[in-house]
Structure 1
Amino acid sequence: MKPDEIDAMAVRWKEAGLPASLIATLELGKRISRLNLLFEQAVKAELADLGLTYAEFDVLAALNRAAPPHRMKPSELSKALLLTSGGISNVLQRLTAAGYVEREANARDARSRWVQLTDEGRRMAAAALEASARAHTEAADVVPEEIMRTAADDLREILSRVGRRRYR
């Protein structure tokens, strides 16, 4: 296996006296970030052909995953996608203007509204999910499936343990 740029960082961390366990943790974090960036860049290129931003895709996909009639409150979208209320508001305005989502009153709570996919929004969500799948497949086609499966399982275990921690 050929050394990468993170290996060079690890050498400097070791020279600085960092413990091996911390170096392994830093290497993992850096490689996860780098891998995520590569996948995200591949997906963004595909989404651009559809005229969508990554945030717009995230909202369409979240609404598509929601139970029929594929609707959520903006606050639920914001929490699920880790977007600020202002950020989700801007994305929803663009998606509404494009005809992909519509907002309707919440009969149980006059202070909130539902956001749901339109028929065109469901079609665009399907096209965007297909584009995302294509981007991920093409980006990862050089990695054998068994290596990908092992990495995904190992990362699930790490995330389940780290995810239990509470941070301020």
Structure 2
Amino acid sequence: MTDRVEQLIAAWQSELPEVLGPGTELVKRVLVLAADLDAATRRELPAFDLTPAEYEVLVGLRRSGPPYRLKPGELGRALLLSSGGTSNIVNRLTARGLVTRESDPDDGRGTLICLTEQGGRLAEAAVKASSAAHEEVFADLPPEVLRTATEALREVFAVLDRPRRGVWSA
């Protein structure tokens, strides 16, 4: 039985084999898995009345640890959002009472995006639902297969996270 990625690789093999390199299958498998996990999270978000971007902002703030606040630029960089995109999302979350903007005590001109108690509770509930959905994606995998795959990817990232030619990999 062939899986989704094997079918994709076979199609490229017959159509344009020169695009297939040693890492192609790994890349495709990681992308398909990421899409499956993203879809699992997105299925949970309507129950919390959150868009994916709003979810990421709330989770980013919650993950930052007490006092659960970040500068807008830090938040945007962590989530790969533009300053305008971050501002729009924060405006929506502020209107719902999930975050506040406060003056930065270390920089009189700066502001901090702060998670409210309500926002913290919502972030925690949404993360728990997302985590459960992710576990469901892996439910049929034997624990040893999951451990082996995790360890293999840890080794891949140990190499990818090293600086190369003056540039950090993404």
Query: Normalised by the size of structure 1, how large is the TM-score?
Result: 0.88
Give the corresponding residue for 1:105: 103
Residue number in structure 1 paired with 2:158: 160
Decide whether the 8 Å contact of 2:161 with 2:168 is kept in 1.
no
Give a deviation string over 1:28-47, Cα, whole Å, max 9, x none.
11111111111111111111
Q: Counterpart of 1:6? A: 5
Q: Relative to structure 2, which stretch is displaced further, 34-43 or 156-165?
A: 156-165
- Residue 118 to residue 19, structure 1, CA distance change in 2 (3 Å): closer
Q: CA, structure 1 residues 106+26, in 2 after alignment: closer, same or farther (shift >3 Å)?
A: same
State the shift of 1:167 in Å: 6.3
The one-character-per-residue Cα deviations of 1:5-29 (angstroms, maximum 9, x if unpaired) are: 3223333554555497x2x411111
**Structure 1 counterpart of 2:101, which letter?**
R
Out of 120, 123, 126, the residue aligned to residue 121 of structure 2 is 123
Alpha-carbon displacement from aligned partner over 1:113-158 (angstroms, at most 9, x marks no partner): 0111111011101111111111111121111122112111211211
Give the aligned residue type for 1:5.
R
Alpha-carbon distance between aligned partners in 1 of 2:19 and 2:124, rounded to the nearest angstrom: 47
Q: Find the residue that maps to 2:155 and give its secondary structure.
A: helix
**Within the alignment, does 1:45 sit opposite 2:50 as a pair?**
no
Q: 1:64 to 1:38 in 2, by over 3 A?
A: same
Once residues 50 and 107 of structure 1 are traced to their aligned partners in structure 2, the CA distance between those partners, rounded to angstroms, is: 32
**Structure 1 residue 102: deviation in Å?**
0.6
Partner SS, residue 141 of structure 2: coil
Superposition CA RMSD, Å: 2.0
In structure 1, what is the Cα distance between the partners aligned to 2:46 and 2:150?
27
Structure 1 residues not aligned, in runs of 5+: none
Q: Alignment partner of 2:45: what SS?
A: helix
Residue 87 (structure 1) aligns with:
85
Q: Which of 26, 29, 32 is equivalent to 2:27?
A: 29
Question: Percent sequence identity over matched residues?
Answer: 40
Secondary structure of the residue that 1:112 maps to in structure 2?
strand
For residue 52 of structure 1, report the CA deviation from its aligned partner: 0.7
Structure 2's unaligned 5+ residue stretches are none
2:10 partner SS: helix
TM-score (norm 2): 0.87
Give the aligned partner of residue 78 of structure 1: 76
Per the alignment, in what secondary structure is the counterpart of residue 23 of structure 2? helix
What's the CA shift string for 1:44-77, capped at 9, x where partnerless? 1111111011111111111112131111101111
Bigger drift between 7-16 and 69-78 goes to 7-16
Letter in 1 for 2:7: A
